[in-house]
Structure 1
């Protein structure tokens, strides 16, 4: 191999000398491994050509790019300097390039923790970025082997990297208009002679002035006098060496030209850039005005941009439901239009209405109309849907809404804003003012807790005040499944006709991993939602499966089932506990079995475990943990099971096994009762403080199955041994009576036995290795958590490392995890069979 067995610094030097000799590769930019610049600066400053990650081994290309992206994002290098034309990644064998423009959106993800260590490949942030870019890299990456592709690599650098150099002004495109804006805020905004607080009260943002600057024809001169706007319908336009705001937009607050306090500083800033932006990107920049709105304002308004692929898919579903000629047969109103991107692709402009809260967005849509957007200006208007009376609507739209038959030909087609009020304890990151709208006050009694969300207020007004219309809307599945939306479902009367669901993180300004649905409702029917089959698409827009979405109203949930079996605090020998809160996958991470003396998540209910409820506790724990939480099942609810599981001793023993090798017991807090082996089995160098678990199981499992106490479940159902209300205890007694009482013991399945065998080898290896170290390190009573901590250690922040340098340990823990995964796969069908989850 060309660069095998050399250190990273030498690799970077050789790659620079062999392939980029015509450029400057000496500049150090933050923690980026390798940069490429033109050898000579021009009068407009440095123009980076390539930022790259370097590795000395033979590395996976996506992994290298993820580390580079995290490095750039952590230092916000993309904010501080002009980004390059390409990102790169290379090791001793190959080099890869991807156009920066293809991944630039990643740096503007909301609610992303950029402070993780880029080199830690196991963080959730690293895995999230990797998941997001792999499909991008498959389509847009150029990969070259140094030896096999020598000529192709030279040609690529010559025709692509080299040509990114320019001695002229930098051209503005979709790649760089946001970084330019961030520098504009520092240089130009302070020299605009205006009171920004007054403008903000009028919903006029600095970004409106930036767009005014962008859409100027600079005539290829350095003179300010000949600069003129190319888009006079923007909210703010550049005019007479200053700015002008249309009077109708500001209610005569500002009716004069807004001047520049320092024209020379303005000229010095803009002489670096060629204005206007490249023609092919102008519509994109106008359309993505939302990216220039400050984050706090975007979140307060709850606005976000609908990705084009979901717009196109939603219009296909509308066509499938309403027929090929639906745009001629129906009228369409987007009453939360933003800059109108949801309406792109619609053809009959005479049937389309668009309204939004901000006049600046109306100006953008009017500008887009001048640029060819398929809309009519008089049908694009400012309207506060949650506060304004319908009498403010255009008369033609009022005529449709006020006519019962015409309403049936109206499609309200929206992606409503998402903002949530703070909860009652103000411990949630909510948005003040959400509950103050006219609509909320009018319908608060029927919205229930749904009144805390803007989108629910939109939907209830449409349902109640435009009855008979077709409602086609994007929203979370809360309205279908959320516990706090039961009142909403009771009062929102419509028939759901069709649904598709997609990952929420494909949208801007959306938090978390959960589904967003596009739902078509016929409000001419007055039904309450019960269930629907939804089409599921992955992040790339590919159909993957159908999923039943059900309302859980009047359902009994898993926490109602488990609560009566809690051991009381005065019970003898409490061996562990776990917190329980919520009945869905969102709370999965908090469910951990810990030592009873460990303080963990006091806000949740605490389930205390003793010998009488261990099987039930293990069943609950396994059911909640054996299925991975995904964006798709995020809203699924765990339920009160039917009676089938009571007589399934193999299922119970599988759950016990899964729990024994998945708990977070730490012996530092007290006696460890969770050792699943005897001292003899693992060659311990001292007697265990507790043999509870092996006594409980009577003997270690063998492939043929091992007898266990035959009344374990019955004991757990004895009311005198648990705490709870009389009603709960009555239910416990009911379950006890339902129990199939016979002499058949719990039987460990082959899958469970394989887990025990893998675990035994891990414990044996620990006792062998730890006993050879200092006495104060060896812990005969080590739990699985303790063993992991011993081999993996902790980083400088006190977190347990994800890996160990001990290859034997890594093999043993890997084998245990593999066997646990097989066991989990055996358990999962029973979770649905016994009604813990509905398919």
Structure 2
């Protein structure tokens, strides 16, 4: 054995077998002995580094059989391991249990040497083992090892942990005489094939309609196609009854037959049988149920792209069908989708029901894909081109969907996920245009995907005017489900006669979040949005703009709909002045949640009028605003001319800081020429501004805790270039090692839009968890006390907002 082969042997065993379960070069020239739990001999393995062709492979098989024959304890199986031409690790298991393999006397066993078998021995052994070799590659080898160690032999158990691997091997190994292009049908065939004709005895519910109720219970739910029989012993995959497939093995052929008339014949029976020698069929019942539940994982990325899986994900389609099952029997309906794409919304209805689906789509290629998937009633039609409705071929005539529904004696259900975009020539978002036009079909039910904001804006009038009711309104995060940015996306079931009235005043919707492990949407809670009351933050902004008189102190802007305040502003329209300062601080102190989630964006949950803000809440907000991020007033910044900009927002008095009365900045009209004409404004002292308010105990506690941080900064001697007017922003940055005037030149020298950009890259924010490395340990309790007091006031402000009915609900995140 050469060095390369020996190294490969060790690497192979380390990769696939557990420690202390194998030995090298033991017994009578056995390359590797694989041992059981009690040290018993499980498998002898003959190793080769690479096998170049068929003749080398035949010779290696003979060497393996001869090695087994030379042992005192001959095993009923033998292993041959090597790397194939594509670089895959291979372990072949040779079945030696038949007497014709190990005990046939036409081979002179005694004269044969395993390392150099004769040509006659190679030929005779090849004849004996043909059809008795089972091939395992890569991860399958690890599963085989587990099976051997657990006493299950060489058959790998099919489980929810390896079914994707098994499926990919299956579809690349087993081929049908008529190629199956529809991947959904191919998955159906696989799910039937792994049962190997087995019918489980346990009662099984329809997995597709097994909806979880809002209270977390799992009552037996009706299916989409009528109530499931209590004694049903069949499984469903995306609406298709797998019990209607039969696996037939007869006349040296293997066939999977659907409903006694659609035949899928395996083209290579020998290859089929060789493949299934690797795996134990059927899986355990609980494993098969898990495989069904996660079967959406089997679709390839290309299939998802080609069939619309990237537009309406399967988790949303499954939820759609669960909701429909709560209210309707689909056997009473025909379905129309006027913007079907490739029929993804109807994809889980199953083979039999697709004949009742009538799809129209813009692209011809999408029509072809729909028909491959079994939607024969698919037509190309530009739905928003004019006022006409599409027609379908029905029993020799071109018919409208209403004519077809009448002929079938069924009600009409429209299901659609229209595009969410504005387009020239259309008054509304295209999704609204689709909704308005389908009303001309007079459907009994409309299943509609849209932006949740359509219900929170004037566009809700389209739904109000429709006269329909809401049976179900659920929403989730477009980022997690549709892989888009973070915003709420809704699935709404409108019903002509049943459900909640639509008024536009309030909107009630159920929030679902994606459980990635289970690959399904799970109910979280119900929310009610109030459209009747004004946006409180916008009401405060009206006050900011209405009181923009006096001297300029700085400027404000919004980031994530939260106010930021800073120096400058003389040339801006968004000025902070001595006249509107209290309104700016109020906005910043009430609306400080920068991590608001899609379901409780700030502009959605703050509702009310400025006059409804209690006095204590008002002053709590004034205090909190000064000691939280976004308070960017600085005494260290320089303007474009290199001149330092003064900070006038200093809450602490000279007595509290221990400085001189004249050390603190006061804004005088004669020193800062007003842009508003005559200098009639009196001087501005922020301490006097603060003194006009009365503060709660919690606000005072934060003030005192912040003062101790300021005093530490001034007295510790750890920080250079200190000034009594240094702001909370300056002090927090200094403690964390940030330079507020640090700049980084852009990489692109030809970028004329901007030449420098502020950066604090590589530094940490001023926070509880980042302090240990930048301040002495004995000062940590002081800093922790500051954060505790700030957190307490933030929680109090949120509770005050709730008590004053200015916040719709208790938020998941205070900050």
Q: TM-score, normalised by structure 2?
A: 0.52
Which residue does the alignment assign to 1:533?
Answer: 508
Q: Which structure 2 residues correspond to residues 186-205 of structure 1 after superposition, within 5 A?
A: none
Q: Shift of residue 575 of structure 1? A: 2.9
2:542 corresponds to which of 556, 563, 566: 563
1:390 and 2:389 matched:
yes
1:779 corresponds to which of 723, 748, 752: 723
Alpha-carbon distance between aligned partners in 2 of 1:505 and 1:560, rounded to the nearest angstrom: 30
Q: Which structure 2 residues correspond to residues 118-137 of structure 1 after superposition, within 5 A?
A: none
Q: Shift of residue 527 of structure 1? A: 5.9
1:678 and 2:683 matched:
no
User: For residues 408 and 494 of structure 1, do their structure 2 counterparts lie closer, same or farther at Cα, with a shift above 3 Å needed?
Assistant: farther
Q: Which structure 2 residues correspond to residues 427-826 of structure 1 after superposition, within 5 A?
A: 435=423, 441=425, 444-445=426-427, 447=428, 450=429, 454-463=430-439, 465-482=440-457, 485=459, 488=462, 493-512=467-486, 514-523=487-496, 529-540=504-515, 541-551=521-531, 555=534, 558-566=537-545, 571-572=550-551, 574-579=552-557, 588-589=560-561, 591-597=563-569, 606-610=574-578, 612-626=579-593, 628-634=595-601, 636-637=603-604, 641-642=608-609, 645=612, 648-662=614-628, 663-669=631-637, 670-682=645-657, 687-690=663-666, 692-698=685-691, 709=692, 746-769=693-716, 771-774=717-720, 777-794=721-738, 798-799=760-761, 800-802=763-765, 803-804=770-771, 805-807=773-775, 808=777, 812-826=782-796
CA root-mean-square deviation = 5.2
Alpha-carbon distance between aligned partners in 2 of 1:762 and 1:217, rounded to the nearest angstrom: 70
Alpha-carbon distance between aligned partners in 2 of 1:39 and 1:506, rounded to the nearest angstrom: 45
User: For residues 570 and 754 of structure 1, do their structure 2 counterparts lie closer, same or farther at Cα, with a shift above 3 Å needed?
Assistant: closer
User: For residues 479 and 635 of structure 1, do their structure 2 counterparts lie closer, same or farther at Cα, with a shift above 3 Å needed?
Assistant: farther
Higher helix share: 1
Which residue does the alignment assign to 1:335?
Answer: 338
Q: Shift of residue 657 of structure 1? A: 0.9
Alpha-carbon distance between aligned partners in 1 of 2:786 and 2:296, rounded to the nearest angstrom: 55
Higher strand share: 2
Summarize deviations over 1:608-634 as a string: whole Å, max 9, x none.
232x44333322222222585112113
Q: Which structure 2 residues correspond to residues 238-277 of structure 1 after superposition, within 5 A?
A: none
Gaps of 5+ in 1: 1-14, 24-37, 50-83, 87-96, 100-153, 164-170, 181-213, 220-226, 236-273, 370-376, 422-434, 581-586, 699-708, 710-745
User: For residues 639 and 404 of structure 1, do their structure 2 counterparts lie closer, same or farther at Cα, with a shift above 3 Å needed?
Assistant: farther
Could you say what secondary structure the match of 2:601 adopts?
coil
Alpha-carbon distance between aligned partners in 2 of 1:321 and 1:482, rounded to the nearest angstrom: 28
User: For residues 232 and 571 of structure 1, do their structure 2 counterparts lie closer, same or farther at Cα, with a shift above 3 Å needed?
Assistant: closer
1:827 corresponds to which of 791, 797, 811: 797
Alpha-carbon distance between aligned partners in 2 of 1:285 and 1:344, rounded to the nearest angstrom: 15
Gaps of 5+ in 2: 1-13, 23-47, 51-81, 91-137, 155-161, 185-274, 282-290, 516-520, 638-644, 667-683, 745-758, 810-815
Q: Shift of residue 659 of structure 1? A: 0.9
Alpha-carbon distance between aligned partners in 2 of 1:798 and 1:217, rounded to the nearest angstrom: 56
Alpha-carbon distance between aligned partners in 2 of 1:477 and 1:361, rounded to the nearest angstrom: 27
User: For residues 503 and 693 of structure 1, do their structure 2 counterparts lie closer, same or farther at Cα, with a shift above 3 Å needed?
Assistant: same
Q: Shift of residue 157 of structure 1? A: 14
Alpha-carbon distance between aligned partners in 2 of 1:751 and 1:591, rounded to the nearest angstrom: 23
User: For residues 755 and 283 of structure 1, do their structure 2 counterparts lie closer, same or farther at Cα, with a shift above 3 Å needed?
Assistant: closer
Alpha-carbon distance between aligned partners in 2 of 1:815 and 1:48, rounded to the nearest angstrom: 60
Q: Shift of residue 488 of structure 1? A: 4.5
1:289 corresponds to which of 302, 320, 334: 302
User: For residues 21 and 534 of structure 1, do their structure 2 counterparts lie closer, same or farther at Cα, with a shift above 3 Å needed?
Assistant: same
Could you say what secondary structure the match of 2:574 adopts?
strand
Which residue does the alignment assign to 2:247?
Answer: none
Alpha-carbon distance between aligned partners in 2 of 1:653 and 1:684, rounded to the nearest angstrom: 27
Contact 2:309/2:344 (<8 A) preserved = no
Contact 1:303/1:338 (<8 A) preserved = no
User: For residues 361 and 319 of structure 1, do their structure 2 counterparts lie closer, same or farther at Cα, with a shift above 3 Å needed?
Assistant: same
Contact 1:673/1:692 (<8 A) preserved = yes
Contact 1:354/1:381 (<8 A) preserved = yes
Contact 1:503/1:538 (<8 A) preserved = yes
Q: Which structure 2 residues correspond to residues 142-181 of structure 1 after superposition, within 5 A?
A: none
Aligned pair count? 514
Could you say what secondary structure the match of 1:539 adopts?
strand
User: For residues 567 and 528 of structure 1, do their structure 2 counterparts lie closer, same or farther at Cα, with a shift above 3 Å needed?
Assistant: closer
Alpha-carbon distance between aligned partners in 2 of 1:517 and 1:410, rounded to the nearest angstrom: 22
Contact 1:578/1:592 (<8 A) preserved = yes
Contact 1:496/1:522 (<8 A) preserved = yes
User: For residues 417 and 232 of structure 1, do their structure 2 counterparts lie closer, same or farther at Cα, with a shift above 3 Å needed?
Assistant: same
Contact 2:362/2:382 (<8 A) preserved = yes
Which residue does the alignment assign to 1:432?
Answer: none
Q: Shift of residue 779 of structure 1? A: 3.4
User: For residues 216 and 668 of structure 1, do their structure 2 counterparts lie closer, same or farther at Cα, with a shift above 3 Å needed?
Assistant: same
Summarize deviations over 1:143-182 as a string: whole Å, max 9, x none.
xxxxxxxxxxx989999xxx9xxxxxxx9968999xx9xx
2:180 corresponds to which of 220, 223, 231: 231
User: For residues 755 and 556 of structure 1, do their structure 2 counterparts lie closer, same or farther at Cα, with a shift above 3 Å needed?
Assistant: closer
Alpha-carbon distance between aligned partners in 2 of 1:466 and 1:336, rounded to the nearest angstrom: 14
Alpha-carbon distance between aligned partners in 2 of 1:615 and 1:156, rounded to the nearest angstrom: 72
Summarize deviations over 1:687-726 as a string: whole Å, max 9, x none.
333493333334xxxxxxxxxx3xxxxxxxxxxxxxxxxx
Alpha-carbon distance between aligned partners in 2 of 1:820 and 1:48, rounded to the nearest angstrom: 60
Which residue does the alignment assign to 1:312?
Answer: 318
Alpha-carbon distance between aligned partners in 2 of 1:674 and 1:176, rounded to the nearest angstrom: 67
Alpha-carbon distance between aligned partners in 1 of 2:782 and 2:147, rounded to the nearest angstrom: 46
Alpha-carbon distance between aligned partners in 2 of 1:543 and 1:668, rounded to the nearest angstrom: 50
Could you say what secondary structure the match of 1:411 adopts?
strand
Q: Shift of residue 510 of structure 1? A: 1.7
Alpha-carbon distance between aligned partners in 2 of 1:598 and 1:43, rounded to the nearest angstrom: 74
Which residue does the alignment assign to 1:379?
Answer: 377
Which residue does the alignment assign to 1:202?
Answer: none
Summarize deviations over 1:549-571 as a string: whole Å, max 9, x none.
3446x957642553244477762
Could you say what secondary structure the match of 1:756 adopts?
helix
User: For residues 549 and 689 of structure 1, do their structure 2 counterparts lie closer, same or farther at Cα, with a shift above 3 Å needed?
Assistant: closer
Which residue does the alignment assign to 1:730?
Answer: none
Alpha-carbon distance between aligned partners in 1 of 2:634 and 2:569, rounded to the nearest angstrom: 10
Q: Shift of residue 22 of structure 1? A: 12
Contact 1:502/1:536 (<8 A) preserved = yes
Q: Shift of residue 785 of structure 1? A: 1.3
User: For residues 625 and 806 of structure 1, do their structure 2 counterparts lie closer, same or farther at Cα, with a shift above 3 Å needed?
Assistant: same
Which residue does the alignment assign to 1:53?
Answer: none
Q: Which structure 2 residues correspond to residues 36-75 of structure 1 after superposition, within 5 A?
A: 42-44=83-85
Q: Shift of residue 672 of structure 1? A: 1.7
Could you say what secondary structure the match of 2:591 adopts?
helix
